[in-house]
Amino acid sequence: MLETLRHNKGFSNPDIWVEYAIQHGFKAVNATKLHHCPDCGGSKFSKLGQYIHYSTLVNLFECRDCRLIFSDTLIDPEVIASHFEQAYKDEDYFRNDRGRIFDQIVNLVDHNTPPGGSVLDIGGAKGHLLASVKQQRPDLKPLLNDISKEACAFAEQTFQLETACGTIHTLKQANTRFDTIILSDVLYYIPELHKVWEHLEGLLSENGTLIIRVPNKLLLIRASQQFHRMISAHEKKVLQDRIRFLNPEHIYVFSQNYLISRLSSIGLSNIRLIPSDLLVHVLPDIVHRLYYRLSKILASVSRGKLIITPSVVIVARKSGNKIASS
């Protein structure tokens, strides 16, 4: 086990982790440590915390230059690809649990895409969201992109969707522009983030709309880490194995300021941040309605600065034209 810890990334003092590693069945995993910010390339970071993921000790850093919050360890791409071929395949999850989320995004696409326009869903999984777009707006030309061959095959066979299987980089080679691009719960998985922003600028049409959905838990993460530092003994801090409210599968945590700054840098304007609707069954119906109504009021009054829902939707346009509400 000591040899495994020496092989795996992050364990500068592997001896103190042996008992933990045995208890959790650690295995040798290949990974790459990042020494520069994956967006701006900066090398000055502040540490927010650490956690264990795939038998690897990962640091959560904040870049002092661009303010991107990122995990400093990239697990072997083959391991991640294998994970995505097996994960998020539950039909009930897509058809039912994410129903409200899909409805919100579909309405945003509907109101912001011109007649006969084209829609690209990056990381669109098995196509349930894009199929809903196609049903509401049969005039649109949808294209699904996902790294999972199984997901793309499902989308083609079940929903008769056109697909482009592969990373976002393969889309750039097609030299096609889209009126609306959806990045729903996928941006935080893409390792080469700086290339994503570059590609998006070229993929979006002159008056195109970009719709992004990401978690909105940074304040909770910061607060929980501050509390952990205040109450934990030195040994517990050194052996910290999780960060509350952080999904360890996510490479990034996005702040509002970072996203607004980055979207502006690629020519997007009229940027709106709106509360994302919730998964079905998270709250009883009446509580959901009251909570979601309150969240929209607070977001409107604060002009998007106060979002209290677990996720946030960002809508931005390449020109100065006004974004239509959902």
Q: Please tell me whether residues 227 and 276 are part of one structural domain.
A: no
**Ramachandran quadrant class, 281 (left: phi over 0; alpha: psi -120 to 50; beta: rest):** left
Q: Please tell me whether residues 288 and 233 are part of one structural domain.
A: no
Query: How crowded is the C-beta side of 243, counted as CA atoms within 13 Å?
Result: 28
3-state secondary structure of 72: coil
249 is a domain residue: no
Containing domain of residue 260, as a range? 91-215+254-317
Residues 175, 181, 186, 188, CA torsion sign: positive
Q: Would you tell me the crossing angle of helices 99-112 and 128-136 to the nearest 10 degrees?
A: 50
Q: Please tell me whether residues 122 and 151 are part of one structural domain.
A: yes
248 is a domain residue: no
Name residue 17's beta-bridge partners. none
**Tally of structural domains, the chain:** 2
Domain end point (choices 171, 204, 238): 238
Q: Please tell me whether residues 176 and 30 are part of one structural domain.
A: no
172/169 Cα distance (integer angstroms)? 5
In the chain, DSSP assigns E strands to 31-33, 45-53, 56-63, 69-71, 73-75, 118-122, 141-146, 162-165, 178-184, 204-215, 252-253, 269-275, 311-317
How confident is the prediction along the chain (326 residues), in pLDDT tens digits per residue? 999 999 999 999 999 999 999 999 999 999 999 999 999 999 999 999 999 999 999 999 999 999 999 999 999 988 877 766 666 556 777 778 889 999 999 999 999 999 999 999 999 999 999 999 999 999 999 999 998 888 999 999 999 999 999 888 888 777 789 999 999 999 999 999 999 999 999 999 999 999 999 999 999 999 999 999 999 999 999 999 999 999 999 999 999 999 999 999 999 989 999 999 999 888 999 999 999 999 999 999 999 999 999 999 999 998 756 666 65
Q: Please tell me whether residues 57 and 121 are part of one structural domain.
A: no
- Name the residue among 16, 207, 39, 5 with its Cα closest to residue 112: 207
Q: Please tell me whether residues 101 and 122 are part of one structural domain.
A: yes
322 is a domain residue: no
Q: Please tell me whether residues 44 and 141 are part of one structural domain.
A: no
Q: Please tell me whether residues 163 and 38 are part of one structural domain.
A: no
3-state secondary structure of 58: strand
247 is a domain residue: no
- The pTM score is 0.92
**CA dihedral angle for residue 266, residue 278, residue 246, residue 211, rounded to 10 degrees:** -10
